[in-house]
């Protein structure tokens, strides 16, 4: 079982992004996903910058995957997507437009493609998919049933740590909550290094707003389920980056590496400072009848 670091979902400043990946090059992870998934307006780093970071990580022995946006809204974004696919050795496709552009090349099917049955796995595999990142709402039993019938040679990856990506919208929530228009947002999402927590009327953390993305307020932490996921057939565990103010991410990586490599139980992540704490969420709850089929 391998460890991956998913794409940076938040809008950090340019020096902070470079510093994070410079440190990550020396950490014990196998795969690193790079690029902007959430908002096409976030351009502090250009394609050339991401490629330069990718070369440094490759030189450090990491497998580098270029990520594509989850929501395409304009022809200009499609043109940019085509250039990303052409420039990258391996992409994570988070939209079917990216799948079509990468067709007949190896690609990773991202968690936003909504793949819930073996027929779709077989179709994407025939188009070049070599690894599938399961949607966060798949429970362990359904995941195991799907993986028991997966196409030969297909790897499976699970989002194992981080605020869960739940939905995308054409509307920017970070701008709207500050009474700004999306086209004149001022990049206010940069003020929230780990998303803006939304609470219920009773004050309980419920969701997190991250530009056009809605996330869980709680942080998914499946370190206690590593053996269960291994038995289900999972090949890669994904850790989603958070700021140093939220968690010591290098310690998260170390804890998951210990859980993967050691037969001993009890590996624990450092506490998170984000409201809501940790959760295991959907992994225990079977999907409603008819919502997912393994055939």
Going through the chain in order, the beta strands assigned E by DSSP cover: 2-5, 31-34, 63-67, 91-93, 107-109, 129-133, 155-168, 196-199, 205-210, 213-221, 236-239, 278-279
Confidence (pLDDT) at 138 = 94
pLDDT tens for residues 127-162? 999 999 999 999 999 999 999 999 999 999 999 999
Pairing of strands 31-34, 155-168: unpaired
Q: What string of H, E and C letters represents the secondary structure of 267-291?
A: CCCCCCCCCCCEECHHHHCCCCCCC
Quick: pLDDT tens for 248-268.
999 999 999 999 998 656 789
Please report, for the chain, the start and end positions of each structural domain, with discontinuous segments joined by +. 2-282
Under a CB-based contact definition with an 8 Å cutoff, are residues 183 and 125 in contact?
A: no
Q: How much is the pLDDT for 263?
A: 65
CA–CA distance, 192 with 181 (Å, rounded to integer): 18
pTM: 0.93
**Domain 2-282: which CATH number of 3.30.420.40, 3.40.50.720, 3.90.79.10, 3.20.20.70:** 3.20.20.70
pLDDT surpasses 70 at 91: yes
Report residue 76 as tokens. Answer: 């200009």
Looking at residue 104, what is its pLDDT?
85
What is the reported pLDDT for 286? 61
């Amino acid at each position: 079982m391998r460890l991956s670091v998913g794409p940076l979902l938040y809008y950090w400043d340019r020096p902070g992004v470079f510093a994070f990946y410079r440190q990550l090059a020396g950490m014990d992870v196998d795969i690193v996903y790079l690029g902007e998934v959430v908002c096409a307006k976030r351009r502090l780093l250009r394609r050339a910058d991401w490629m330069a970071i990718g070369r440094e990580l490759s030189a450090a022995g990491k497998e580098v995957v270029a990520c594509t946006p989850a929501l395409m809204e304009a022809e200009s974004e499609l043109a940019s997507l085509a250039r990303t696919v052409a420039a990258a050795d391996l992409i994570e496709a988070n939209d079917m437009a990216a799948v079509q552009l990468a067709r007949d090349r190896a690609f990773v099917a991202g968690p936003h493609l909504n793949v819930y049955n073996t027929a779709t796995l077989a179709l994407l595999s025939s188009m070049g998919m070599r690894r599938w990142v399961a949607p966060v709402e798949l429970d362990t039993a359904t995941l195991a049933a799907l993986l028991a019938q997966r196409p030969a040679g297909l790897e499976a990856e699970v989002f194992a740590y981080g605020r869960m990506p739940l939905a995308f919208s054409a509307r920017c929530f970070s701008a709207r909550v500050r009474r700004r228009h999306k086209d004149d947002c001022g990049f206010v999402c940069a003020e929230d290094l780990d998303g803006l927590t939304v609470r219920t009327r009773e004050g309980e953390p419920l969701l997190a707003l991250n530009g056009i993305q809605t996330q869980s307020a709680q942080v998914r932490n499946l370190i206690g389920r590593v053996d269960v996921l291994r038995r289900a057939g999972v090949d890669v565990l994904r850790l989603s980056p958070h700021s140093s103010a939220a968690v010591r991410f290098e310690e998260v990586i170390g804890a998951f590496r210990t859980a993967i490599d050691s037969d001993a139980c009890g590996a624990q992540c450092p506490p998170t400072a984000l409201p809501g704490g940790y959760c295991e969420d959907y992994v225990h709850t079977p999907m409603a009848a008819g919502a997912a089929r393994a055939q």
